[in-house]
Structure 1
Amino acid sequence: MTGELSALQGLRAAWHAHLPYDAAIPVNQRRWIVGEGSLTARLMSASARRFHVTRLAQAPQVPFADEWQALGLVRPVPAITREVLLVCDDVPAVFAHTIVDAYRARRDWPFLRGLGNRPLGGALFVDPRVRREPFQFARLSVHHPLRQALQRVLPAMAAVPMLPARRSVFRRGGGAMLVTEVFLPDLLVRPAPASTGAGGTRLPRRIDTFRALPGQDARP
């Protein structure tokens, strides 16, 4: 019974309004996690050579229980689900998981369908109609579904007992988008740039390098 309870707890995450204290999360990594503004822009600033986005998946999926509730859906129905790796200097730094109510996606998030391997932050943080709700924070065990998705792409992550994560809801018009970001071990040591408030670090006009997985179509 104890083993079953432990497994069930691993499938859920306790989301908090503040990042819980954990000795395994040093000061530099905490700065990455709690920093406001565009995470994409901060990662680009911290990349010595280049930054790129690898799109892993974008397709309808049924959200996890705490996700469809966070989006305000009345029941678990398929939502557009996008998963990417944010990569600094060829080292994965963040695993990002985004869900959007498919019914409202075309009207409220028209850029999502053609986003391809471009960063989501490049669209969200330049649109004055987009507003972001406060962060929630969690520590994800290896059994959490987001960890399982990550570990299918990066099997070595299964050796890391806990990965910190944050999520927030973006709203535009009547639509809601839930973005969850899982912080990988690279950000334990990569110096965190200063946070610049809700508006965030300004994104450059273009990002030179995008990359798809081998065999994956990089077109929108």
Structure 2
Amino acid sequence: MKTTATTANGGPNLDSLTVTDSGGGGGGAPTAAELLAKVTTCSQISNGTYKTDEELGRTIPVCGKNGAVFWKADMDIDCDGVRTSQCNENTDCCFLPDTAFHTSSDQPLNAAQLPYVVVPSPSSTWNYENFQIAGGGVVAVIYNNQVTYAVVGDTGPTDIIGEASYASAVQLGINPDPSNGGTDSGVTYIVFKNSTINPIESHDLAVSRGQELARTFINNN
């Protein structure tokens, strides 16, 4: 097994790995290829589809699998929550100093530090709450043969899907700038049902729990 993602000091980046595994035993951290192989077809659970951006048409369904839901979209950058040098009114025209879900000390999440995903606010198109998903739920986010784990951390417009925090983008090598970053396509979001972690701000817990849930997802689909 070869890991190719590294940190600034040259060590392995355990949050975001590109993995080559010649074996087929199904052990260890799940790979992007293993997860993507389970989401090649869509059993649509949303009543209609979503836009990826305001000016585009509705093309993205939410799909159901055993133990999870998923969608394939873009990644817009969410910088809402705690003000930081990366995320504030000057760096982000649409900055809001709050998130839908809060830390264990009832503070907004820190988009620059915590990988989190934005889900559409409940609507007639789809209501995440009806599918055993809540704030702090664990999400596998896949892009460019890399997997990172995040939490459901914020809610967004009722007609748009495909958004994650500044820190999520950093994990996956996507430009995290809220004004000109993100990517237009190629991102898969797998949200595990009944997976809420506590505290929501523990990324280490999201990673360890996410790897367990991802392995179960692979085995059960």
Fold shared by both chains (TM-score > 0.5):
no
Q: 1 or 2 for the larger relative contact order (CA 8 Å, sep ≥6)? A: 1
More helix as a share of residues:
1
Q: TM-score, normalised on structure 1?
A: 0.31
Q: TM-score, normalised on structure 2?
A: 0.31
